[in-house]
Structure 1
Amino acid sequence: MSDTLTLMARAAQDAAALLPRRTGPHGFDSWPAFKAAFDAVDRPTTALLRERLEIALPGTAWAEEIDTDLPPGGEQWVVDAVDGAVQYLQGLPQWSVSIALVREGRPVLAALHSAVLGHTYTAALGGGAFLDGAPITPSGKTDLSLALVATSQPPFVGRQPGAVADAGRALSLLLPAVGAVRNLGPTSWQLADVGSGRIDAFYEYGRDAGNLLAGSLVASEAGALVTDINGRPWHPASPGFLAAPPALHGRILSLLATARTTPAG
């Protein structure tokens, strides 16, 4: 496991190094232009990752994008070669490479690398979580009013209108109760930052397994509580997500529960 995790981290770092640093927006003004710009950066990084990960575990199944359909058994790579591609193409620094190895429907290894920050998160199920090789722990804050809470939206959020409505109500309830709510994407990196205490908590409505698998392992192995919006153990088909240190998790969960039951309008 340790050798595979080391190879995953190096693959993420090398893939990120393939991408040129952007200092301004790409300038696309249509969906085909955006898709072409995305493919131009995603294809070479994905190809490198597939090559390196095949060396680590030959024949393992592969998924670049995933919602809820994980195989019930066996192993699978869940990879986002440019996690935060929208930000990258806009010339913003909030992007990373994300790799998770999923076994029997749950993440068992994770590696995330930010080329801009020069940092790498790694985690192994039962083996802890690390930032640049040093063990990490989540925030020790106990005062919710000082908490920096992050959030995100699943891809193609228009397909999940209920998630949109719940997210809007949750934001209205959380803003007066916490220090700040931010979307500092990409999703996976925000979750990993919960593990290191840079972000105090992260929540999201809707199904978004592909973006949550790697970061959720980092957060949970660091010591954060990782559940769905109902407080049950999170799994890839869950319609919501919360990661927070034990001292904050219950109070944030209560606010999110209120959001689910408060009528809109």
Structure 2
Amino acid sequence: MLTHVIQTVEKIAATVPAPVGPAPVTLSELLQRFTEVDRPLADALRERLPGGEWVIDAIDGAVQYLQGLPQWCTTVTLVRDGEAVLSVTHSPALGETYAAERGKGAWRDGRVISASGKTSLAAALAGTSHPHHRQPEANAAAGRALPGMLDAVGAVRGLGPTSWQVAEVASGRMDLFWLFGRDAENLLGGALIAAEAGAVVSTADGSRWTGDAPDFLVAAPGLHGAAVLALDPTRDR
């Protein structure tokens, strides 16, 4: 089934048209233009995917897409009993596809991937983002945690949509990623890919992550404990 899903996602993502005209200038215009592209793409995926409960993010990175930037991807995740069991995420601009099956491993373009072997946060490339729907309490928590991570890591960058950044941690091209807020649609698939590649997936305080958790952290095994401490604003500096 995985091969079929990969082919389906790649084929349909290739049909997404380039944005036409200037970028939206109001939120309502942004939402309207996004819906005009996202809805038929999501419908096409649902029609062609095998039966089951699918979480579909047809254009993760919608803002970048509408701004004419290449940092967006299409992600589909099969969920059973609330757990992701298969996920595929494809970047048309990069021509790359991440995929994973629970208990079977994770791959980029058919090659097995694994998380970074780094053990020092000072050498780490970290990514972050925030959910598209407003969550004031999560934003406040993110603000309190940010200084500790900025002090600890080599660099913090926002390198694309949430699901793609999590997958990049899975492959070792990034070393860790964190997010404050609930964002299961964007995190379920990437979290499976990362876990199958040997990265550690948790909440910001190191607890077990689920789709309704208030925050998210994924890191290389040798960095996870230090990343949890770096995100704790109460720890001694």
Bin of the TM-score, shorter chain as denominator length: over 0.9
Runs (5+) with no aligned partner, structure 2: none
Paired-residue identity, %: 50
Aligned match of 2:176 in 192, 201, 212?
Answer: 201
Separation in 1, partners of 2:119, 2:196: 20
SS in 2 for 1:142: coil
Deviations along 1:110-161, one digit per CA (max 9) or x if unpaired, are 000000000000000000000000000011111210100101101222xx22
Alignment CA distance shift 1:91-1:25 (3 Å): farther
- Aligned residue for 1:71? none
**5+ residue gaps, structure 1:** 61-75
Residue in 2 that maps onto 1:72? none
Amino acid at match of 2:92: A
1:176 CA drift (Å): 1.6
Aligned pairs for 1:70-85 within 5 A: 76-85=53-62
1:15 aligns with 2:9: no
Q: How many residues end up aligned between the 2 structures?
A: 235
Q: Shift in Å at residue 173 of structure 1?
A: 1.1
Name 1:139's counterpart in structure 2.
Answer: 116
Q: Report runs of 4+ in structure 1 exceeding 3 Å deviation.
A: none
Alpha carbons 2:131, 2:183 under 8 Å: kept? yes
CA distance in 1, matches of 2:99, 2:215: 24
Give the Cα separation in 1 of the matches to 2:215 and 2:124: 20
Q: TM-score, normalised on structure 2?
A: 0.95
* Alignment check: 8 A CA contact 1:195 1:224 kept: yes
Amino acid at match of 2:187: L
Aligned residue among 122, 125, 132 for 1:148? 125
Instruction: Show the counterpart of 2:202.
Output: 227
Which whole-Å deviations, capped at 9, do the CAs of 1:67-108 have from their partners, x for residues lacking one? xxxxxxxxx210100111110000111100000011111100
- Contact residue 151 and residue 202 of structure 1 kept, 8 A: yes
Residue 169 of structure 2 is aligned to residue 172 of structure 1: no
- Give the counterpart letter for 1:137 in structure 2: S
SS of equivalent residue, structure 1 residue 79? strand
Deviations 1:7-66 (A, max 9, x none): 2211211121111235x873322233212211221122112101111xx22xx3xxxxxx
Structure 1 residue 166, shift from structure 2 partner: 1.4
Show the 5 A alignment for 1:176-187: 176-187=151-162
Amino acid paired to 2:99: T
Q: Distance in 1 between matches of 2:27 and 2:113?
A: 40
Paired residue secondary structure (1:175): helix
Q: TM-score, normalised by structure 1?
A: 0.85
Whether contact under 8 Å (1:15, 1:48) holds in the other structure is yes
Alpha-carbon RMSD:
1.4
Correspondence for 2:221:
246
Would you say 1:35 and 2:31 are equivalent positions?
yes
Separation in 1 of the partners of 2:14 and 2:183?
A: 26
Cα pair 1:15 1:97 within 8 Å, conserved: no
Residue type at the aligned position of 1:146: A
Shift of 1:165: 1.3
